[in-house]
Amino acid sequence: MTARILDGKAFAAKLRAQVADAVVGLTKRGRPAPGLAVVLVGDDAASQVYVRNKVKATEGAGMRSIEHRLPADTTQDALLQLVASLNDDPTVDGILVQLPLPRHLDSAPVIAAISPAKDVDGLTIENVGRLAAGLPGLVPCTPLGCMLLLDAALGDLAGKRALVIGRSALVGRPIAQLLTQANATVTVAHSKTRDLAGEARRAEILVAAIGQADFVRGDWIAPGATVIDVGINRIVENGTARLVGDVAYDEALPVAGAITPVPGGVGPMTIACLLANTVVAAHRRHGDVAPR
Ligand code: NDP
């Protein structure tokens, strides 16, 4: 038996199509197409690729993409002023500041300056607090994508034993909170966890968000477990670079019940969820009922 592959690419395409339908619904009611503003500071190569993909996906779903590319020597004040103007701009429903920022800039005040209603990355303290309190808000995109994949794979998660490896504010922690809200029994592991392999072997759902290539071995995985591999790690083998996850995929395949590949698993879901969050933000701003 080999694991069922959770095809994030196909699932994300479906989600993007649903987003496009919701955009048509909005415009039919006389609302403007939702606008997503993306702010990129500097010329980090990976960030350029991410932003290009986000712009393409935004336009592909019938939404408006508003790009702000700022030079690497942009000042903190100039960036804060731009965020303030986007907060006030009625044509902007979502604001995304691409991280990391150049070293001379402090990301915390920039994120804090984003209006929580337009915070489609779910990073402001208001949205972080709403998630922790179980209140509706805007949920970080990668964790949301993981939950949608788990929902597709397993349906009801109530009572399932879940292990999340990683506790970052961006990924591990919000995933653990969403799993708890879905009534899973959740353990959060990190670099100080003892007997991580033993913890993993008890998990029916294993989420790896560590950032280390092939860290989770096949014999850590319980037979039939659902494995969500968030990691994106670039490795070079025989002079050729490729992306691998945090889970040793070939070892996991014969043991797990279902698994996300890297690439093509969680990654594509992240951008689709960004679009979904923008549509939700647009609905709320107009006082319309947001799609689920
Ligand atoms: P961080 O570096 O912020 O967090 C890594 C977490 O892993 C920390 O909580 C850390 O523990 C834990 N960790 C590190 N080493 C170990 C270890 N030896 N044993 C157990 N736990 C360990 O990374 P992110 O959360 O931002 O990202 C995680 C991965 O997900 C990366 O590969 C990143 O590229 C990828 N990613 C993928 C996205 C996607 O769209 N698919 C989006 C965002 C990220 P501690 O807290 O104790 O230091």
Report the pocket of ligand 1 as residue ranges, CB < 6 Å.
142, 165-168, 170-172, 189-193, 196, 209-212, 230-233, 266-267, 270
Exposure string of 203-232, with b = 16+ CB inside 10 Å and e = fewer, is bbbbbbbbeebbbbebebbbeebbbbbbbb
Q: How far apart are CA 152 and CA 120, in angstroms?
A: 23
CATH 3.40.50.720 is right for the domain spanning 141-266: yes
Among candidate residues 54, 93, 214, 246, the one labeled active-site is 54
> Does 54 qualify as catalytic in the annotation?
yes
- CA-269 nearest atom, ligand 1: 40
Note the pLDDT of residue 1: 80
Q: In the chain, which segments carry CATH 3.40.50.10860?
A: 31-115
Question: Which two structure tokens, joined as six digits, stand for 251?
Answer: 């070892």
Residue in 47, 163, 187, 190 to alter for ligand 1 test, most ligand atoms within 8 A of Cβ:
190
In tens digits, what is the pLDDT along the chain, a chain of 292 residues?
A: 899 999 999 999 999 999 999 999 999 999 999 999 999 999 999 999 999 999 999 999 999 999 999 999 999 999 999 999 999 999 999 999 999 999 999 999 999 999 999 999 999 999 999 999 999 999 999 999 999 999 999 999 999 999 999 999 999 999 999 999 999 999 999 999 999 999 999 999 999 999 999 999 999 999 999 999 999 999 999 999 999 999 999 999 999 999 999 999 999 999 999 999 999 999 999 888 887 7
161 is in an annotated binding site: no
Note the pLDDT of residue 290: 82
242 is in an annotated binding site: no
Note the pLDDT of residue 291: 78
> Which helix (H) or strand (E) segment is 51 a member of?
helix 45-60
Q: In the chain, which segments carry CATH 3.40.50.720?
A: 141-266
Q: Are 41 and 105 in contact (CB under 8 A)?
A: yes
Distance of CA 71 to the CA centre of its chain: 26
> Does 121 qualify as catalytic in the annotation?
yes
Q: How far apart are CA 52 and CA 264, in angstroms?
A: 18
What strands lie across the sheet with 161-165, from one edge to the other? 4-5, 258-259, 226-229, 205-208, 161-165, 185-189
Domain boundaries 31-115, corresponding CATH code: 3.40.50.10860
Q: How far apart are CA 188 and CA 199, in angstroms?
A: 10
**Which residue spans within 20-87 are E strands per DSSP?**
35-41, 64-70
> Does 28 qualify as catalytic in the annotation?
no
- Among 85, 88, 95, smallest CA distance to 119 is for 95
Among candidate residues 93, 121, 214, 246, the one labeled active-site is 121
CA 91 / ligand 1 centre spacing (Å): 35
- CA-266 nearest atom, ligand 1: 41
Q: What residues does 216 pair with on adjacent strands?
A: 247
Note the pLDDT of residue 41: 98
